[in-house]
């Protein structure tokens, strides 16, 4: 007898976007007060959800959107890796609501926050700074989070929605950026939806992220201390406010071999990559000559992302599908960078021509992301 076998199609429900208003949230210690009724309902729902094993929630931070699940539950951590399609040897940052929660849940009587971080924590927490602390035997953070490293990355986000979510659930959240692996990090809820729709139940939508690039990751457990990833706190600020030990901080190299453990964020994997080819122009002044030379004989559809010095695309003799000024200061470029790369990609271009910024101050974090996104660099 012939039987028609129907393939079972499992369709995931669409991801829900839950608006929240950060201005309506007040946090004192771990006590959260929310004046807006919708924000309270959505936060409470997300806070209940992250306590359920295997459940994840996307949420805004001041840097980029994160995809959070309990750092103490292996089903939740697995769900993060699965939703993002992230390689399982790239460790996750654990987000806590403050030093109190860190000491109560993650550290122990014997195992204190290393002294070398004291001044940095006072100055930059809550904020875009991730520190590595030693992974002690009694630490409840799962090996799946740290992927075999002997340290755990910890951060206290400044964004009221993120901190309220962690405080209300009283759950330390393992949370990578909420993009699909290899894509630019999300700075709007719609970016998360674009990458993860149907793969996660909900996104708390708190609007655009103010910093726009991820946290600075520092390792104070080695000598000299190291910046593993430049980010929202500049190297100059670390040197200025960290105390004597941080004055000679070094910045880790940018790439690692395939078999090396991932000691430095993003060293070994493709990162921040739109589908279109990104070409980075450094030291090319107004760009008119360099871009014209580069584009000679190329019929591709292009986008132009300018920063400080580039002339208009019209002056370069181009008719781009999309043209953006990312900003006139490095912090403004940082805020707009991922959004503009994503928008250029959505516009269906073949090439994204991007003007570099100086690798100083906030420019270091921008150039770190841009040099990973670019497959070609034109130097003036």
Taking CB under 6 A as the rule, does residue 230 contact ligand TXA? no
Taking CB under 5 A as the rule, does residue 171 contact Mg ion? no
- How would DSSP label each residue in 329-355? SHHHHHHHHHHHHHHHHHTT-SEEEEE
Phi, psi of 134 (to 5 degrees): -65, 145
Query: Near ligand TXA by CB under 6 A, which window of 45-53, 170-178, 277-285, 307-315?
Result: 170-178
Taking CB under 6 A as the rule, does residue 203 contact ligand TXA? no
CA dist 238 and 12 (Å) reads 44
Q: Which does 273 bind (CB under 5 to 8 A by kind): Mg ion, ligand TXA, none?
A: none
Contact 135, 247 (CB under 8 A): no
By beta-carbon proximity to ligand TXA, the closer residue of 146 and 273 is 146
Query: Near ligand TXA by CB under 6 A, which window of 6-14, 71-79, 145-153, 241-249?
Result: 145-153
Taking CB under 5 A as the rule, does residue 177 contact Mg ion? yes
Taking CB under 6 A as the rule, does residue 152 contact ligand TXA? yes
| Residue whose C-alpha is closest to residue 369's, from 93, 131, 184 | 184
CB of 24 to Mg ion, least distance (A): 28
Q: What is the DSSP letter of 55?
A: -
Query: Near Mg ion by CB under 5 A, which window of 14-22, 53-61, 174-182, 299-307?
Result: 174-182
CA dist 13 and 95 (Å) reads 27
How far is residue 288 from each of residues 282, 309, 310, measured CA to CA in Å? 13, 10, 8
CA dist 177 and 157 (Å) reads 13
By beta-carbon proximity to ligand TXA, the closer residue of 93 and 313 is 93
By beta-carbon proximity to ligand TXA, the closer residue of 156 and 351 is 156
Beta bridge partners of 131: 154, 218
Q: According to CB under 6 A, which one of 167, 175, 202, 366 is a site residue for ligand TXA?
A: 175
Would you call 141 exposed, middle or buried from its count of C-beta atoms within 10 A (0-12, 13-18, 19+)? buried
Taking CB under 5 A as the rule, does residue 63 contact Mg ion? no
**How many residues touch ligand TXA (CB under 6 A)?**
29
Is the bond into 27 cis (omega within 30 degrees of 0)? no
Residues that bind ligand TXA (CB under 6 A): 61, 63-64, 66, 90-93, 128, 130, 132, 146, 149, 151-153, 155, 157, 175-177, 214-215, 217, 228, 262-263, 265-266
List residues near Mg ion by CB under 5 A.
177
């Amino acid at each position: 007898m012939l039987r028609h076998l129907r393939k079972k199609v499992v369709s995931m429900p669409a991801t829900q976007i839950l608006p929240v208003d950060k201005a309506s949230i007040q946090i004192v210690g771990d006590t959260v007060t929310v004046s807006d009724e919708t924000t309270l309902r959505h936060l409470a729902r997300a806070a209940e959800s992250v306590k359920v094993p295997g459940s994840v929630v996307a949420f805004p931070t001041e840097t980029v959107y994160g995809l959070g699940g309990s750092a103490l539950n292996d089903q939740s951590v697995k769900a993060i890796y699965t939703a993002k399609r992230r390689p399982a040897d790239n460790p996750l940052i654990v987000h806590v609501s403050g030093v109190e929660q860190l000491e109560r849940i993650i550290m122990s009587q014997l195992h204190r926050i290393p002294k070398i971080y004291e001044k940095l924590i006072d100055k930059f927490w809550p904020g875009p700074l991730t520190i590595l602390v030693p992974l002690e035997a009694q630490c409840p953070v799962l090996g799946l989070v740290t992927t075999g490293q002997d340290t755990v990355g910890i951060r206290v986000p400044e964004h009221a929605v993120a901190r309220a979510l962690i405080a209300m659930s009283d759950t330390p959240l393992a949370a990578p950026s909420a993009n699909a692996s290899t894509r630019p990090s999300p700075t709007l809820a719609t970016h998360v939806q674009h990458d993860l729709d149907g793969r996660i139940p909900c996104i708390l939508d708190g609007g655009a992220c103010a910093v726009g690039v991820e946290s600075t990751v520092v390792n104070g457990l080695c000598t000299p201390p190291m910046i593993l990833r430049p980010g929202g706190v500049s190297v100059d600020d670390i040197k200025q406010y960290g105390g004597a030990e941080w004055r000679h901080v070094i910045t880790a190299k940018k790439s690692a071999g395939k078999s090396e453990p991932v000691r430095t964020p993003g060293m070994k994997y493709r990162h921040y990559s739109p589908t279109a080819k990104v070409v980075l122009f450094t030291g090319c002044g107004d760009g008119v000559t360099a871009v014209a030379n580069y584009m000679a004989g190329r019929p591709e559809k292009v986008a132009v992302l300018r920063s400080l010095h580039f002339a208009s695309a019209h002056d370069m003799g181009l008719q781009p599908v999309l043209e953006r000024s990312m900003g006139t200061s490095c912090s403004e470029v940082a805020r707009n960078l991922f959004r503009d790369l994503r928008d250029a990609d959505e516009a269906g271009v073949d090439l994204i021509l991007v003007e570099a910024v100086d690798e100083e101050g906030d420019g270091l974090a921008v150039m770190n992301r841009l040099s990973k996104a670019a497959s070609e660099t034109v130097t003036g």
